[in-house]
Chain A
Amino acid sequence: MTTTPRWRTLTRHHLFWPVAVLVVLLLVNVPFTPDFFSIKMTDGHLYGSLVSIVLFGSPLILVAVGMTLVIATGGIDLSVGAVVAITGALTCSYISDQADQDALSGVLLAMGIGLVAAVVCGLWNGFLVARMGIQPIIATLIIMVAGRGVAQLITDGQIITVNSEPYKLIGGGYWLTLPFSIFVVAAVVAVTVALTRRTALGLLVESVGGNAEASRLVGIRSRRIKIMVYVFCALCAGIAGLMISSNTSAADGNNAGLWIELDAILAVVIGGTSLLGGRFSIGGTVVGALVIQTLTTTIYTIGVPTQTNLVFKAAVVIIVCLMQSPKFRAKVFGGGRLGGRFGGKRGDRSTATPADTAATPETVRTMEVS
């Protein structure tokens, strides 16, 4: 009896469902890999499935964190995969042109060039969306398509390989027993949270995404804010591009970051941020990205045949999205406490809109994406 109210508060927390899904997915692995949760120390490095999930999930977390802010303003950025490719291509081709690929200054300069290119892409997206008023999905489609071509041009259609110790660190190296990229991700997440919650940026972003016209009428400079979030998103994608090319010591204009935009959007949605814009949760997005990465890992550990693994992934994604829908829970668990409660809370998004009860926006949109 006494546990019920506490359980309710817990289930009402916005991270409850994403975390629950993550835990379930992790547990699914245990029968197949009994030492799934164990972490070993070898050569001063920590190894284990959990470490690899975070390591391989790092680029996705970065891209998804940037995507969260864009989505919160009511936009979407399809170009992140192409930005990943461009950044990797530019950086690697610059490093490979160096006489001494191990020179730190050269590597830093190369990374700088790559990130500047990413920022330029972000500015372009922001310009199209905020200044020209083009629909975000169309505006960012331009770089999504053209950007891969640019990356190919930079690499001459080849896969450029580099052999640089300092560059290897960011995506494949270790520091203080952990993969270095975990620190990069932690830093970016911390900076994002500070940037949005310690300043008023988060509030203004949520306001612009929650009601654009009302935001204009209170004097929020929404154009500036939109440009900022597209630039920030591209910058995150750029860092992810560095990580991916560093991890493989190669830049592949064709395949680097391929389809990462869709995984990122999915991560954002699983994390509880609505594609309609408004309220966002960086923590939720990180969990969402981990869910997707865990799913990918799980597909390998439980040995789903390669040809069916996309179907498997889609099925899990559909289940996750359905579980997050209050309407669905209310139906399945019937009059049960959990379902009923939730139906009440999330279903009543705005005051008097009958349409809202017909289907939760989140569910509908996610289904489209997956």
Chain B
Amino acid sequence: MAEPLPVLEMTGIVKEFPGVRALSGVDFRLFPGEIHALLGENGAGKSTLIKVLTGVYSLDGGTVTLNGTSVRFHSPSQAQQAGISTVYQEVNLCPNLSVAENIFIGREPTRFGRIQWKRLRREAAELVDRLGLDIDVEAPLSSYPLAVQQLVAIVRSVGTGDADGQGAGTKVLILDEPTSSLDRDEVLELFALMRRLKGEGVAILFVSHFLDQIYEVCDRMTVLRNGTLVGEHMVRDLDQVGLVQLMIGKALDQLEELHDHQLHADVGESLLKADGVGRTGGIAPFDLEIKKGEVIGLAGLLGSGRTELARLLFGADQPDTGKVTIGGKQVSMSAPNDAIAAGVAFCSENRKTEGLVPDLTVRENIILALQATRGWTRPIPVAQRDELVAKYIKALDIRPANPEARVGQLSGGNQQKVLLARWLITRPKLLILDEPTRGIDIGAKAEIQKLVVSLSEEGMAVLYIAAELEEVLRLSHTIGVLRDRKLVAQLANGPEITPTRILETIASGEHQ
């Protein structure tokens, strides 16, 4: 059977940044009605390939053919006009506008030059429904967690082709790590939508570090390594082990290691106690005790209040009830400073808006939290600073390993590592990690989980939030289960605790 013609073909793509060759002669093709995975380690060049295609970056070499005609886009809106809808890796919406406005921004339905607000809201609500989401489209986007914002970005891209008379209708849909902070249910909704669009003949480019997801929805895959093409395969022709080998250039067995690792038993004395801590609109009052060397994992569905709970323990939001004691002393939690002084660190899930300062260098971003505790008058001595930074760049394998690089220029996964390094360097007593492995490739993910284990062995307490239940179960001594903004159960981890059991607990919370 002859293959149909590709809707999109990129050949010999070259992209150089000052000092970095991000893509060297990459070929890529995309067929109508297929879901095509783009794979590779952090910094392999996936996002860059997408951005040169859609005109965010200019092309340094190579050709792009769309439907048989050669094209070159100079801006993302041109690509959009030509039928390429894109959800970029870093959610890129306006937090203070409503969900509906975000969905239609730049292509609002107008009549006689005026925006038809009613129609805009109605169509936004319809689109959101189509994805099976329960979102109030009139609420400001910032009132929703990152995962919902990510979904809104997807709705926005999918909706593009529908606005009548505008653009050519979506022919190509590009999703750069759309599932990085989604839970299982939303992932399933998204996959259903992707399959439907595929049935309509749309070609979908999908980037993810979750290999299971690749095997679940994708038909074909292209693997990049260090900016070069390593191969294009049908998903059914290559198993996971082979794929990983292609991605990182060697076999990976450390994942297995971690699977059988034993949780260490020497959990120490009490470190933090929360008594009736709660916040209206955030999370109902809860009691929680965290001990030295203990890893507490939080499990719950999207919007169940995991992030909200973590933020209260850090003073990122102020609790309206209850009190927090750390090491026997009550901490006021009126600002993050109080918690930081008491030895708490909080690594936010939202690295772009709540984490990194993109214009500063890797070094500056890494030392920021430590420097803040010292105040402006006592800079960290240069030698000590450089040593610390070099140590963590090495430990987390941040690439490029250049402390002078601007953080905004790093790949998503490497940015995440910088954020982790920032807090690890402060040697906290309690480390709160909200989705620490978001956007991190499988090799590095195993490394980070190992790191969490060894830190807890050294006596650091860790509060761990991750969308993947298996990840939480693998690491935690205790699992806090949340439902509808309530901490409904705290389970001691053991052989009888399985993802199914947790899901049951979440479900039964409903009847309480």
Contact = CB atoms under 8 A, between A and B. Distances in A.
B408 A351 contact: yes
B167 to A, nearest CB: 15
B102 to A, nearest CB: 13
Contacts of B378: 199-200
B18 A214 contact: no
Interface stretch (B131-139, B355-363, B483-491): B355-363
Contacts of B88: 351-352, 354
Nearest to A206: B360
Interface stretch (B265-273, B277-285, B346-354): B346-354
A353 interface: yes
B65 interface: no
Contacts of A198: 379
Contacts of B408: 348-351
B372 A219 contact: yes
B58 interface: yes
Interface string B74-93: 01110000000000111010
A53 to B, nearest CB: 32
Given A204-B376, A218-B422, A340-B58, A351 B358 contact: yes
Contact of A344 (B17, B336, B379): B17
Contacts of B422: 218
Interface in A199-225: 199-201, 203-204, 206-207, 210-211, 213-221, 225
B334 interface: no
B359 A214 contact: no
B336 A216 contact: yes
Contacts of B390: none
A348 B90 contact: no
A203 B374 CA distance: 13
B56 interface: yes
A278 interface: yes
Contact of B409 (A203, A210, A215, A348): A348
A330 B58 CA distance: 11
Contacts of A344: 16-18, 57-58
Contacts of B92: 352-355
Query: Which of A199, A340, A352: most chain B CB closer than 10 A?
Result: A352
A217 B368 CA distance: 10
B374 to A, nearest CB: 7
A148 interface: no
Contact of B359 (A213, A221, A349): A349
Interface string B366-400: 01110111111111100000000000000000000
Nearest to A8: B18
Nearest to B422: A218
A199 B376 contact: yes
Nearest to A207: B357
Interface in B314-341: 314, 316, 335-337, 340-341
B384 to A, nearest CB: 13
A348 B348 contact: no
B89 A225 contact: no
B364 interface: yes
Interface in A337-363: 340-341, 343-345, 348-355, 357-358
A206 B359 contact: yes
7 contacts: A214-B354, A217-B348, A345-B17, A351-B358, A352-B90, A354-B56, A357-B75
Given A353-B90, A357-B55, A357-B76, 15 more contacts: A200-B376, A200-B379, A206-B360, A214-B353, A215-B368, A218-B340, A219-B335, A219-B337, A219-B372, A344-B16, A344-B17, A348-B408, A350-B408, A352-B90, A354-B76
Those 8 A-B pairs whose CB atoms lie nearest each other, nearest first: A354-B76, A352-B88, A210-B357, A219-B340, A218-B369, A200-B379, A219-B372, A278-B359
Interface of B: 16-18, 47, 51, 54-58, 75-77, 88-90, 92, 176, 314, 316, 335-337, 340-341, 346, 348, 352-360, 364, 367-369, 371-380, 408-409, 412, 415, 422
